[in-house]
Structure 1
Amino acid sequence: MTTQSFITFISNPVPQVVFAVFLAVAWPLSRFAGRDRRRRIVAALFVASAGMIVALTATPSYADPASFASIPPHFLTQLDQPRLILAKLIAAPSDAEQVANIALYVPLGVFGRLLLRSTTRATLAGFLLVFTIETIQYVIPGRAGSITDIRNNVLGTFLAAVATAAVVYLSRDDAERRSPVGQPR
């Protein structure tokens, strides 16, 4: 996607409305995180980052209709080809768009790790979001769900969650790191 086509896409009202809805519900939904104001802020940012992802990936692409012919087949149509799926899953990210797909899920990984307090749960949340989006892209005009997008998005979530866990761990003082979890110093 070129810079111009990206600007055209985000200037369309559909992604803007989707993102606005997520922003509008982010703070009310953060109440489920508890009374701690910091956790509520992290929860609201988690919802907002999910909203950004949904707005960018689960809304119709209004690109030039001629470009629709170059859309690759949806991954659901390839499930009968396990070797192809495996090859796509283990291949390294190969272009700028794939790197952008990794970066897109970094905020979700950071806020997911802080909110859910587990790298595994944060990564699972990223997987569930991307799998849902990539699956429903089957019926969204101009979209085609991709195994490589799933891989790259989950990788972005995982790497961000691991980095966040490392920062949280290193930000604790030495005595707190040495004591077992849940025991006083």
Structure 2
Amino acid sequence: MTVTADYLGLRLQIADVDHENLAFFKSCAEGKLRLQRCCACHLLRYPPTTACPFCAEPAAEWSEVEARGVVHSYTRVHHAIQPGLKPHTPYVILLVELDAQRGQPGPGDALRLVGNLADETGRLADPETTDKVGIGSRVRMVLAHLNDDLAIPHWTLDGDAETWRYPGDGRR
């Protein structure tokens, strides 16, 4: 079954043949972060895919993962290309390093997910909040629920942490 939804004026669609992404976004719609765990090497992987990037094993099971982590990198968007995002500028896109599986399979490795900075309800964060985020910020996943089959994972600030910001960032 193809899943469709509208988000900020954007039409989203996941085709019925895209089993891995359908399963991922369905788990988000259920309020959970589930990632594929390889049945051979037992490492988690993201993005969802048909085979393990570490050992090439095709078999995997879905495992619930704690949806908390730290900002690994970020960018602040001042000029939105999509019309639905223009009223939300500046908005922040985060690359979040999950607490789960940090340092595996090697010391510099981790599970990293992309998402927007949002408030507690899953709405894109206001400018005051975007000024607080930096590399090292603690975050947790929040969801923008679109329908019963689709929720988009975003991130909200989750406590204080020492952060680094790009020079001049946060000043308009």
> TM-score, normalization: structure 2?
0.25
Which structure shows the bigger proportion of residues in strand conformation?
2
Which one has the bigger helix percentage? 1
TM-score, length basis structure 1: 0.24
Q: Which has the higher contact order (CA 8 A, sep 6+)?
A: 1
Q: Flag the structure with larger Rg.
A: 1
